[in-house]
């Protein structure tokens, strides 16, 4: 089994091929490790998702029958809803940290079918800390950017409302691909959170076209897969509006969330190979490493 080089200037098709080959080589050990954590998280998410879905549908049914619309607002302000959101964020954080640790282990040549969760424990914790700091920094930067954009829109709206809408749309679309790459320098090149954001944005803008195309393709594929997992849960709810949730409904809800746990590592791999290709194209990392190997002879 040939080891896949991470940093290589591949075209878009080759990036997909390299990602698929990495998954083919390592899917057993990936999911052996990931499911240990993903299953308990999916059960927790499933419980809160079904709990609030049932309450939401009952409230909608009562409102249609002439009830008070404030019942729906109460659902979104309850403590349980915040717990549900926190578990969802924790799940995304953990799955990304685990995926990064698995890929780093592979790059070091140490990943095999005997690799366990404990072997990756320190790296996973380190990755979680980095991702958390990057997330918080991005939120703060996002708030500042929103305020700046609002001010620009307020000024421009006095000139042309249509042009203002175009500027807002352009601003959103221009930044989205870059955001997808901000985590990878910290996970694979030991960059600090702020350095990771800076490098990720720089590389994201330079590889904007292929990154946006990959986002669209992966988003469609991920939606189809998660839809397959969540369809039984959606069907059950459609025919049981107003009924109290039971073991079956909680199980179906957990399975729907397990679909996201299944998809997240796959999408992580595809975007990681996008990052590797862009950083090698822009910074020539593979060429630098070959020069260093030559100097060490």
- Cβ burial of 283 (10 Å; 0-12, 13-18, 19+) is middle
More confidently predicted of 209 and 253: 209
**How far apart (Å, rounded) are the C-alpha atoms in residues 284 and 281?**
6
Name residue, tokens 């990756």: 120
Hey, what are 123's tokens? 């790296």
pLDDT in tens, 112-140: 989 999 999 999 999 999 999 999 998 88
Task: Name the nearest CA neighbour of 71 among 84, 53, 56, 85.
Answer: 56
| Interatomic CA distance for residues 58 and 124, integer angstroms | 40
- What average pLDDT does the structure give for the chain? 82
Q: Give Cβ neighbours of residue 72 (< 8 Å, ≥ 6 apart).
A: 56, 59, 60, 63
pLDDT tens-digit map of 203-241: 988 888 899 999 999 999 999 998 898 888 788 777 776
Q: Is 192 left (phi over 0), alpha (psi -120 to 50) or beta?
A: beta
Q: Model confidence over 29-65: pLDDT tens digits?
A: 999 999 999 888 888 877 777 766 666 666 666 665 6
SS3 at position 146: helix
Residue 77 class from Cβ within 10 Å (0-12 exposed, 13-18 middle, 19+ buried)? Answer: exposed
Residue bearing the bigger pLDDT, 121 or 169: 121
Question: How many angstroms separate the CA atoms of 263 and 269, rounded?
Answer: 10
Residues near 51 by Cβ (< 8 Å), separated by ≥ 6? 80, 245
Nearest CA to 49 among 79, 84, 97, 11?
84
Q: Which two tokens stand for residue 247?
A: 């073991």
Q: What is the mean pLDDT of residues 88-110?
A: 92
149 CB-near residues (< 8 Å, 6+ apart):
168, 171
pLDDT on residue 292: 45
Measured between alpha carbons, how far is 47 from 39 in angstroms, rounded to an integer? 12
For 24, the token pair is 């083919």
**Number of residues in the chain:** 297
Q: What is the pLDDT of residue 243?
A: 65
């Amino acid at each position: 089994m040939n080891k896949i080089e991470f940093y290589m200037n591949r075209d878009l098709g080759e990036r997909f091929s390299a990602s698929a080959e990495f998954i083919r080589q390592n899917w057993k050990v990936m999911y052996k490790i990931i499911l240990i954590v993903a299953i308990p998280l999916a059960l927790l998410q499933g419980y809160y998702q079904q709990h609030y879905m049932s309450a939401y549908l009952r409230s909608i049914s009562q409102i249609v029958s002439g009830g008070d619309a404030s019942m729906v607002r109460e659902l979104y302000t309850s403590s349980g809803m915040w717990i549900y959101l926190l578990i969802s964020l924790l799940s995304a954080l953990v799955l990304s940290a685990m995926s990064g640790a698995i890929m780093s282990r592979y790059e070091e040549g140490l990943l095999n079918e005997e690799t366990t969760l404990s072997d990756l424990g320190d790296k996973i914790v380190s990755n979680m800390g980095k991702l958390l700091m990057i997330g918080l920094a991005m939120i703060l930067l996002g708030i500042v950017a929103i305020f700046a954009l609002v001010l620009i829109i307020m000024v421009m709206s006095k000139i042309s409302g249509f042009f203002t809408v175009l500027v807002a749309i352009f601003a959103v679309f221009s930044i989205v691909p870059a955001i997808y790459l901000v985590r990878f320098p910290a996970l694979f090149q030991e960059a600090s959170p702020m350095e990771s954001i800076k490098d990720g944005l720089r590389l994201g803008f330079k590889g904007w076209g292929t990154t946006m195309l990959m986002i669209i393709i992966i988003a469609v594929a991920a939606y189809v897969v998660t839809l397959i997992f969540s369809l039984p849960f959606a069907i059950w709810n459609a025919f049981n509006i107003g009924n109290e949730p039971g073991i079956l409904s909680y199980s179906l809800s957990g399975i729907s969330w397990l679909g996201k746990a299944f998809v997240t590592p796959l999408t992580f791999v595809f975007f990681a190979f996008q990052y590797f290709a862009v950083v090698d194209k822009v910074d020539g990392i593979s060429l630098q490493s070959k020069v260093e190997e030559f100097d060490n002879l």
